[in-house]
Amino acid sequence: MFAENLNKIIRNKKTLVCVGLDTDIEKLPAFLHSEFDPLFAFNRAIIEATHEYVAAFKLNLAFYESLGVPGWELLEKTLRLIPRGVLVIADAKRGDIENTGRKYAETFFDTYNFDAITVTPYMGMDSVTPFLEYEDKGVFILCLTSNPGSTDFQFLKTEDEPLYARVAQKIVGWNYLYGNCGLVVGGTHTHEIEEIREIAPDLPFLVPGVGAQGGNLEQVIKSATDARGMSALINSSRTILYASSERDFADVARERARQLRDQINLLISIHKNPGLMEQN
């Protein structure tokens, strides 16, 4: 099962950190622009500097697709850099009717061999099924997002409970059938994450919103991880990628990733399982 594979990585590497490779040419250190392929040089440096401290890399497809053919080539080259033993997530947020969904699934799971993907459930189960049919792959389904606009729809009451809770309940049901579901839950909604964790006690959570978006790390660890302090990936993108705009950017990114790993592990030892990160 996907959840077991994820937790195996977490145990082996003793980390819940996920680094988002949201690589933006406008944010790169200026000296890299003299490189033949500055975006690839940046990704390579970040991956080499941080992979020791991360359980997953998450590639936001918008930053690659927006570049056209060179962006897809950058995606391929970047994927080849990521070492084994690290989960690779396509942050694609796909979701469409079954035939189209099947092609999306083939793209990211067959052609590019991602380990997991983010999808949107708005069109219902048949739009998610093509991804779920890849039993060895993870499907992180949007449940409660970290952006301010999440309140437009996700908090609407349906039969006296918010829509995000209904979504979580549905996904738990889908997981009984397929066994590879996860939830995307925004780190800016810590009270609601606790509620969602009660609905889905064993599902993996992908948690954006900690760092630049202001999510409280301690509350996220208490609410988003399972009873053992596992089954969650805490994503950080800008806070790690662009911590420095100088020639030391990779070293600073490495230190930020290490600090985040250590902060998370300390909070797990306080609030969940004191011995987890020492176990093999």
Distances (CA, A) of 98 to 64, 117, 118, 128: 25, 16, 16, 8
Instruction: Judge contact between 243 and 253, C-beta under 8 A.
Output: yes
Which has the closest alpha carbon to 270: 234, 224, 229? 229
Give the helix/strand (H/E) hosting 207: strand 205-207
Q: Is 77 a catalytic residue?
A: no
The secondary structure of 17-67 as a DSSP string is EEEE----GGGS-GGGGGSSSHHHHHHHHHHHHHGGG-SEEEEETHHHHTT
Distance from first CA to last CA of the chain, Å, rounded? 19
CB 200 within 8 A of CB 225: no
Cα 197 to Cα 54, 90, 139, 143, distances in angstroms: 23, 23, 17, 11
- Residues 77, 93, 170, 272: which is the catalytic one? 93
Which active-site residues does the annotation give? 93
